[in-house]
Amino acid sequence: MLKITLTSQQKTNLELRHKKMRDVRRCYRIKVVLLKSEDWPVSTMAKALRNSESSINSYLNDCLKKGKLTPENGGSKSGLNDEKMRQLIDYISEEWGVNYLPPYSPNLNPIEQLWKVLNKHSRNNEYFVTTKEFRQKTNHFFYEAIPKIGASLINRVNDNVEMMQPAY
């Protein structure tokens, strides 16, 4: 295995990235590179990091040969350019219709809508000392409050999606 030599600035930068990084996989790769730069044997790193030697060797090979610290788990690359993608979207829109939704839209999610009603009737401005109290209040909502207010929920909790025209 080749030796990894880092300048003090590179090491400081990696340690800072490791400290700020939220992606555990990237943190792990940074740890492997830092430990290898400190001449740790792969077998010792594997024991310390609770991983296999083959995984650590794979991380090191990626770093040395490809110069990358991030895993490639983003799926396949598109074979379409922007123009082809636009044509495909236009064709699908004309043939079947397309609903443009934001990545996460709680107002379109019936469970989120029901959770809002539950909060209003059972949770708002209340502190529960135990989970048992919370569970009792929640059960009361589902078994006693919903039968009483069920008719009014038909208009509030639904999965109706309004068709919109694309912005492009």
The pLDDT of residue 160 is 65
Q: End-to-end alpha-carbon separation of the chain, Å?
A: 52
Q: Is the pLDDT of residue 100 over 60?
A: yes
With 80 as the cut, is the pLDDT of residue 138 above it? yes
- In this predicted structure, the answer to whether residue 75 has a pLDDT above a threshold of 70 is no
Percent of the chain at pLDDT exceeding 90: 9
pLDDT at 55 > cutoff 60: yes
> What is the structure's pLDDT at 131?
93
Percent of the chain exceeding pLDDT 70 equals: 82
> What does DSSP assign to residue 70?
S
Q: Is the pLDDT of residue 72 over 60?
A: no
Cβ-based burial of 71 (10 A; exposed 0-12, middle 13-18, buried ≥19):
middle
Specify the pLDDT at position 61: 81
Per mean pLDDT, which range of 19-33, 63-77, 89-103 is the poorest? 63-77
Among 19-23, 48-52, 83-87, the range scoring the smallest mean pLDDT is: 19-23
Is the pLDDT higher at 55 or at 101? 55
Q: 77 vs 144, which has greater pLDDT?
A: 144
Instruction: Say how far apart CA 164 and CA 150 lie, in whole Å.
Output: 30
Is residue 159 within 8 Å of 110, Cβ to Cβ?
A: yes
71: pLDDT strictly greater than 60: no
Both structure tokens of 151: 């008719």
What is the reported pLDDT for 3?
A: 74
Domain boundaries, the chain: 8-66, 82-156
